[in-house]
Structure 1
Amino acid sequence: MHSSTGSNPPIPEKVSDLLVRLDTTEIRSKEDLYPLELLQRATNYLAASMIFLQKNTLLERPLDKDDIKERLLGHWGTCPGINLIYAHCNHLIKKHSIPMFLVTGPGHGAPACLANLFIEESLAKFYPQYSVNKDGLNSLIKSFSWPHGFPSHVNSEVPGQIHEGGELGYALSVSFGAIMDNPDLIVTCIVGDGEAETGPTATAWHSYKFIDPAESGAVIPILHDNGFKISEETIYGAMDDTELSTLFTGFGYQVRIVSDLNDINADMASSMEWAYQEIRRIQSCARTGNPIYKPRWPMLVLRTPKGWTGPKELHGERIEGSFRSHQVPLPHARVDDEEFRLLESWLRSYKFHELFDLSRNSFRMEVLKALPKEDLRMGVRKETYAAYEPLDLPGCKELMVQKGDNESCMKITGQYCSEVIKMNPKRFRIFSPDELVSNNLDATFQVTNRNFQWSHQTSNKGGRVVEILSEHTCQGWMQGYTLTGRVALFPSYETFLGIITTMMIQYAKFIKLGMETPWRLPLGSLNYIETSTLWRQEHNGFSHQNPSFINNLINMKYEHIRIYLPADANCSLITIAHCLRAKNYINLIIGSKNPTPVWLSPEEAENHCIAGASVWKFASTDDGLDPDVVLVGCGTEVTFEVIAAASLLKKDAPELRVRVVNVTDLMILPGYGSHPHSLDNEAFESLFTDEKPIIFNFHGYPSVIRTLLFDRPNSQRMTVLGYKEEGTTTTPFKMLTSNGTSRYDVIIAAIHSASKFHPRLSIRAHELISLYKHKIVEHDKYIEKYGKDPEHLMDKPEF
């Protein structure tokens, strides 16, 4: 073992020295390991039985075909490896009394997780029907993949879980998020070799480069290399030991390969102990003022056959050690005689009757010796279900800007976040794909650093900002950090937040079930900020113009989502403070990083944000009384255009009475009762009238507004302007005219709609519409000649 000094182990001189070799003096005694072997026999039996049996679960009589479930669901292939790792996590916890839990990347390994949770009585703590006795055992085995029972993969209904694994690739980044600012916690993370083929996992291996061992815990990554996925070999299964060791040494790890099937428990016990001691060595150096630069953290590669301990062969074809064991290795056992006989032989091979004592109606003591103390068992770790503490948040008013000034929504948000960091040095982090400065949130760097441990400038200095050019990794970190009780913020260029759409959807499903699970306590919300929005990505071009993350959110269950489009800096402050307080939501804030007018005083902004929308009297005719047309802005840039349109209409069409409404909370719009924030019909009509035409100028795709307003009465009076997939490298105002959202387009739509009911306006409608169409053409000629927008288009409108 390496001594606890402020240096790494020596760099290997040749490839053959890359592997951390097994020291036989580390092998535990047979007596010490025997309970682990018994525990694995028990959990392997339970896992296999969950997939196949609906009764006769203890095999107290010969197996009958009617004992087998009609629908066989589940994944056997990964279960024996999970059971091996779970047992050795227990061994390490028991020996060192350490806080630890397990994240399983192979989410369909639920039978293994449930089997272990059952034996350690964590299931019974939350679900009394699964108490450790014969009745509880029968209930567990029958209810797996059964209506109203546990599904075939882990989810938030299963104790000890912070990762579902429904979509592969995120287990490792979630694990690293969990150990940030949890200095004593160790998370063991199983990465399946199929999962390891994904892009998100490939980047997540670098997570240790962002972990300060002085302030955070550690992950023991275990690549479970069993060689096969659903019907094909895996990339990692095709790599030999030298290739694997070279790869992960290059990533910055010390690698130990566990593959001695003749004495796998001794090999695994020694390897887990080695990993634990290496972690404590690195942490001790950092925490005693002698940090290691670029510490090489431990990782294990576990090589076991796919479907290990299961059926070896069927119909002349190999099962164990092949893709055929990935899911249900005997899929026709209920009707095929050979498969039926093989199933009974397989289940009886575990000799479960030697492990479960019917006279005691419980497991034999030799099995239970493998378990740590009750409060240290992985299924009851409070970090996984009851760790949330609200942030201490500063007030907003000290940072608010005077009405009439110009200020960046993001700059003021960054200043607020810096105060949050000062007040919550260990409970708040910002995960960003290298865009914090670009997005004008860099005020945070006045109080913190980036936490990049391989940097020459910031290593060993902590830091609340973690930046990596991988949206997937940022999302995974944020999920792990949030699910273990803390609060995070994810700012991004608007167009690239869509990269993590499916991750967000998986998370939303996890928290939906979590909120329906009584023993899971509330969590902080996931908080996204979209900035560098499409309307000011005219310099980066068409590829950077995409507001589709909004569309993805509104397809989720409405009660879990919140979408805010604050129109000025004061509204942004109130919104970010609200989101950092909120629990169990997915919050999206969309704001501009460029300076824009501050339309509302602090008091007006607070009232406006509480209401979610309001009439902006200063831009309306007679404070908005008795309008002929309602102009609605939702989003920073498009609201500016609505207000500019109202100003021009006041001058050019004074006979038209205009009401200006701003919507800051998008979810007030759907029909009453569909979202907690949705307005009742009376409130909706008080803002938008019950019959007057509405011109809605929206930040994103018009389909969003049409979807949300579908159930509103008389919605055909609505004209929705928004992004129409028109863009290139151009000027800011050309982006607006190209998509029909400029002030001129708002005016044209307003005149076109209102003139149908307004005789005096109808006489001039053609003249006015032609005038503003001409202005659009003239603007196009101007930018072609000068390469920029006329200065007056950025002037604040006058009333």
Structure 2
Amino acid sequence: MVVEHEDDLAGLDAYWRAANYLSVGQIYLLDNPLLREPLAPEHIKPRLLGHWGTTPGLNFCYAHLNRVIRRRDLNMIYVMGPGHGGPAAVANAWLEGTYSEVYREVTWDEEGMRRLFRRFSFPGGIPSHVAPETPGSIHEGGELGYSLAHAFGAVLDNPDLVVACVVGDGEAETGPLAASWHSNKFLDPVGDGAVLPILHLNGYKIANPTVLARIGEEELLKQLEGFGYRPLVVSGSDPEVMHRRMASVLDEALEEIARIQREAREGGVGGRPVWPMVVLRSPKGWTGPVEVDGLAVEGTWRSHQVPLAGVRSDPEHLRLLEGWMRSYGPEGLFDAQGAPVEGLRVLAPRGGRRMSANPHANGGLLLRPLALPDFRDYAVEFEGHGVRSSEATRVLGGFLRDVVRANPDRFRIVGPDETASNRLSAVYEATDKVWRGRLEPGDEHLGPRGRVMEVLSEHLCQGWLEGYLLTGRHGLFDCYEAFVHIVDSMFNQHAKWLKVTRGLEWRAPIASLNYLLSSHVWRQDHNGFTHQDPGFLDVVLNKPAELVRVYLPPDANTLLSVADHCLRSRDYVNVVVAGKQPALDYLPMDEAVAHCTRGIGIWEWAGTDGGVEPDVVLACAGDVPTLETLAAVDLLRCHFPELRVRVVNVVDLMRLLPAGEHPHGLPEAEYEALFTTRRPVIFAFHGYPWLVHRLTYRRRGHENLHVRGFKERGTTTTPFDMVMLNDLDRFHLVIDVIDRVPGLAERAAHVRQRMVDERLWARAYTREFGEDPGSVREWVWPY
């Protein structure tokens, strides 16, 4: 028996009842928080919002976790997968005193309790989920499926941290969560902390039963054992029995975690351990109304949100609510001033051991800058503008290798089996890929403590990295451009989190979420149409301007400069799109740094405008669009030497926005100086053309802007045929210039026809020989 005294059980139950009382109050009450007078309709919120069904189970776990934190002096945070059980997180943060420390006006008394209730799901208050506003949270849970991945990400390189992660049985039906069970196979008991999953089976989602709650227990346990866990079951509804069993199970689980870590750290025991987990079966809406209007509520789907919906207008519902809240015995839980009684206060951990105040749940407090090598030391040898070729991401790999070496405890690279494919293989000179499974002859770069994490689940990669960043570390997610779409929604949720935290002074900035998208749309010619999609940029640019940055470095040196900047940044989402195939080097390092610092600029060496107003502006963003633009300029210089051509290259896509719309936006005068207001602008763009129009539609001269980009035309073909399919090729760009420069079309019909013929000839060549013509493949900047 692990509960030493009956007083321990009584204390656990009192703490749980206090949290339940505070949770119900948040959902229902505007006033009369301690029920000092009979409940009246005017004490009730006009709009009843929130989720009760999962909340008592979350409070139950929280109370018991506090016991083991105090008993074992644990460093623990709590991830609530059913994040819509937000009342539980808020209630416990207030009980522990953290909420009043963070929000001084929400005091530890009756008035503070009233304000606490009034804030919840109320205009000008806080959301109903475990949102950024809630101390102790790194996981909102508004969208289900990511709790376990966040939890495992949090414990990487945090050897003393334990994350208790409640997985709701509805959440357990999602694809990301189903994959997340495999995260235990990437956990190092020496250098990482531990995750204690608590699968909470309360039987129902919004209106349907849950799959895992309805399968037989033997089948369930076999499934969890098959994932590599040792499940410990707590099941029932009688509070006294459940308290005893939960206390016993948590002690057993945490003793097992301590043993695994001790044997690995002190005894050198290798292999992949079988980690414990808890299966908690409790009624949905536990301790709430048993029956309402003749219908069963507790233990059914009807308790999911607000069990008593007509409290303001229905006297019977009001009576039931008052009876429900008084059943928790508030007069014995809160003193005359409304603060938790001394008997409850001593049950909470102290200081940073409180889960609501643990600094790992406010990771910016623990963030240490990366020790970064000088990126200039990795510059490619420069022989002239557009003469020599490099594989940009391979060059970046050398820089990242040394970032890994210099930061063995706070930097990781995640990716879905694509680190080598994306030409970042140099990192394996410094680290392995995390692998704790069986090794076979021929395996390469696999080890238990690598800094690269690869798994064929973009959801897991994103979730791990988010958990890692939110607890104060740094990282990079490399991915094929087309398939990063798999985490569109996860990106959305993280961006929303960052948006809210920027308005919370007590939330310290965290390292930026950095995406490196390679194997991009224009060089997936070998894989075909399924792999050709640049639309993640459109998704990113839906987010608030102060959060997102998009970079399209045209060559290796600009990629190095951009990468260094992104790894130093805080509280952003940085998206870098860079090719892995051999591509021309356009700028020496000093010019590359200056160009990236500006984010946009005229390439004087490529243009022929001579510093005066041009006849046409050729703009480009992205490595392949830059190549085709320069090749088009070469043709224009040959056929129209008198034509004044200006070349503008864009690295920082946000520079196209007005200064008032984005911190990186160009002031009107600078934009107009670059692009003019009355000359045609032919813009070769990496992504969908309308994105550039969307960014520039308010600019003067927008009517002169003509954008070429991906038109959703793709297949398995040659690189040059891909750009021809989408009218982004050099010949088509020349045609655009002829068609749009006033007076040029009338005297250039023969050149225009030749460009059409060149396109036809190039396409015929690819069909006959299976590769692009040598004049295309071997083109370099000739001037």
TM-score surpassing 0.5? yes
Residue 697 (structure 2) pairs with residue 710 (structure 1): yes
Asked if 2 retains the 8 angstrom alpha-carbon contact of 1:105 and 1:189, the reply is yes
Q: CA deviation at 1:292?
A: 3.5
User: What secondary structure is seen at the aligned counterpart in 2 of 1:621?
Assistant: coil
Asked if 1 retains the 8 angstrom alpha-carbon contact of 2:158 and 2:193, the reply is yes
1:779 to 741, 762, 769: 762
Instruction: Report matched runs for 1:430-445 at 5 Å.
Output: 430-445=413-428
- Give the structure-1-normalised TM-score: 0.95
Unaligned runs of 5+ in 2: none
Instruction: Report matched runs for 1:480-629 at 5 Å.
Output: 480-621=467-608, 623=610, 625-629=612-616
1:123 aligns with 99
1:364 to 321, 337, 341: 341
User: What secondary structure is seen at the aligned counterpart in 2 of 1:677?
Assistant: coil
Partners of 1:356 and 1:672 in 2: CA distance: 53
Q: CA deviation at 1:765?
A: 2.7
Aligned length: 770
Q: CA deviation at 1:690?
A: 2.8
Asked if 1 retains the 8 angstrom alpha-carbon contact of 2:551 and 2:651, the reply is yes
Residue 266 (structure 2) pairs with residue 282 (structure 1): no
Partners of 1:171 and 1:768 in 2: CA distance: 60
2:372 aligns with 393
2:48 to 51, 66, 72: 72
Asked if 1 retains the 8 angstrom alpha-carbon contact of 2:731 and 2:759, the reply is yes
User: What secondary structure is seen at the aligned counterpart in 1 of 2:772?
Assistant: coil
2:658 to 648, 671, 678: 671
1:644 aligns with 631
Asked if 2 retains the 8 angstrom alpha-carbon contact of 1:28 and 1:270, the reply is no
Asked if 2 retains the 8 angstrom alpha-carbon contact of 1:282 and 1:292, the reply is no
Residue 252 (structure 2) pairs with residue 266 (structure 1): no
User: What secondary structure is seen at the aligned counterpart in 2 of 1:474?
Assistant: helix
Q: CA deviation at 1:460?
A: 5.8
Q: Give deviations 1:32-89, integer Å, cap 9, x for gaps.
A: 2221110001110110111111111111111112211110000000110000010111
Q: CA deviation at 1:367?
A: 1.8
Residue 782 (structure 2) pairs with residue 798 (structure 1): yes
Q: CA deviation at 1:631?
A: 0.5
1:631 aligns with 618
Instruction: Report matched runs for 1:361-440 at 5 Å.
Output: 361-385=338-362, 386-404=365-383, 405-440=388-423
Partners of 2:42 and 2:216 in 1: CA distance: 44
The residue type equivalent to 1:326 in the other structure is H
Residue 762 (structure 2) pairs with residue 762 (structure 1): no
Instruction: Report matched runs for 1:197-208 at 5 Å.
Output: 197-208=173-184
Partners of 1:459 and 1:779 in 2: CA distance: 44
The residue type equivalent to 1:72 in the other structure is L
Partners of 2:261 and 2:597 in 1: CA distance: 46
Q: CA deviation at 1:319?
A: 0.2
Partners of 1:324 and 1:711 in 2: CA distance: 51
Partners of 1:31 and 1:166 in 2: CA distance: 37
1:306 to 271, 284, 288: 284
The residue type equivalent to 2:218 in the other structure is T
Q: 1:443 to 1:459 in 2, by over 3 A?
A: closer
Q: Give deviations 1:407-446, integer Å, cap 9, x for gaps.
A: 1110011111001011100110001000001110111001
The answer to which of 604-613 and 151-160 deviates more is: 151-160
1:225 aligns with 201
User: What secondary structure is seen at the aligned counterpart in 2 of 1:124?
Assistant: helix
Instruction: Report matched runs for 1:12-411 at 5 Å.
Output: 25-26=1-2, 28-262=4-238, 263-358=241-336, 361-385=338-362, 386-404=365-383, 405-411=388-394
User: What secondary structure is seen at the aligned counterpart in 1 of 2:727?
Assistant: coil
Asked if 2 retains the 8 angstrom alpha-carbon contact of 1:241 and 1:257, the reply is no
Partners of 1:125 and 1:34 in 2: CA distance: 28
Asked if 2 retains the 8 angstrom alpha-carbon contact of 1:212 and 1:460, the reply is no
Asked if 2 retains the 8 angstrom alpha-carbon contact of 1:53 and 1:142, the reply is yes
Partners of 1:452 and 1:114 in 2: CA distance: 38
Partners of 1:420 and 1:258 in 2: CA distance: 45
Q: CA deviation at 1:27?
A: 5.0
The residue type equivalent to 1:689 in the other structure is T
User: What secondary structure is seen at the aligned counterpart in 1 of 2:434?
Assistant: coil
Q: CA deviation at 1:481?
A: 0.4
Partners of 2:481 and 2:77 in 1: CA distance: 35
Q: 1:641 to 1:175 in 2, by over 3 A?
A: same
Q: CA deviation at 1:722?
A: 0.3
Asked if 2 retains the 8 angstrom alpha-carbon contact of 1:203 and 1:470, the reply is yes
Partners of 2:411 and 2:493 in 1: CA distance: 23
Asked if 2 retains the 8 angstrom alpha-carbon contact of 1:524 and 1:584, the reply is yes
The answer to which of 115-124 and 676-685 deviates more is: 676-685
The residue type equivalent to 1:409 in the other structure is A
The residue type equivalent to 1:395 in the other structure is D
Q: Give deviations 1:694-745, integer Å, cap 9, x for gaps.
A: 0000000001100000111110100000000000111111100000100011
User: What secondary structure is seen at the aligned counterpart in 2 of 1:660?
Assistant: strand
The answer to which of 654-663 and 641-650 deviates more is: 654-663
Partners of 2:270 and 2:558 in 1: CA distance: 45
Q: CA deviation at 1:297?
A: 0.4
Q: 1:303 to 1:239 in 2, by over 3 A?
A: same
Identity %: 44
Q: CA deviation at 1:542?
A: 0.5
Q: CA deviation at 1:286?
A: 1.6
Asked if 1 retains the 8 angstrom alpha-carbon contact of 2:237 and 2:283, the reply is no
Q: CA deviation at 1:655?
A: 2.5
The residue type equivalent to 2:781 in the other structure is P
2:640 to 638, 653, 657: 653
Asked if 1 retains the 8 angstrom alpha-carbon contact of 2:636 and 2:643, the reply is yes
Q: Give deviations 1:750-776, integer Å, cap 9, x for gaps.
A: 11111x2xx4x3332322221111111
Q: CA deviation at 1:141?
A: 1.3
Q: CA deviation at 1:29?
A: 3.4
2:460 aligns with 473
Asked if 2 retains the 8 angstrom alpha-carbon contact of 1:35 and 1:369, the reply is no
Instruction: Report matched runs for 1:718-757 at 5 Å.
Output: 718-754=705-741, 756=742
Partners of 1:723 and 1:440 in 2: CA distance: 24
Partners of 1:507 and 1:596 in 2: CA distance: 33
Q: Give deviations 1:233-276, integer Å, cap 9, x for gaps.
A: 01111122211110000000001111143311111111111111
Asked if 2 retains the 8 angstrom alpha-carbon contact of 1:110 and 1:153, the reply is yes
User: What secondary structure is seen at the aligned counterpart in 2 of 1:299?
Assistant: strand
The residue type equivalent to 2:392 in the other structure is C
RMSD: 1.3
Q: CA deviation at 1:624?
A: 5.3
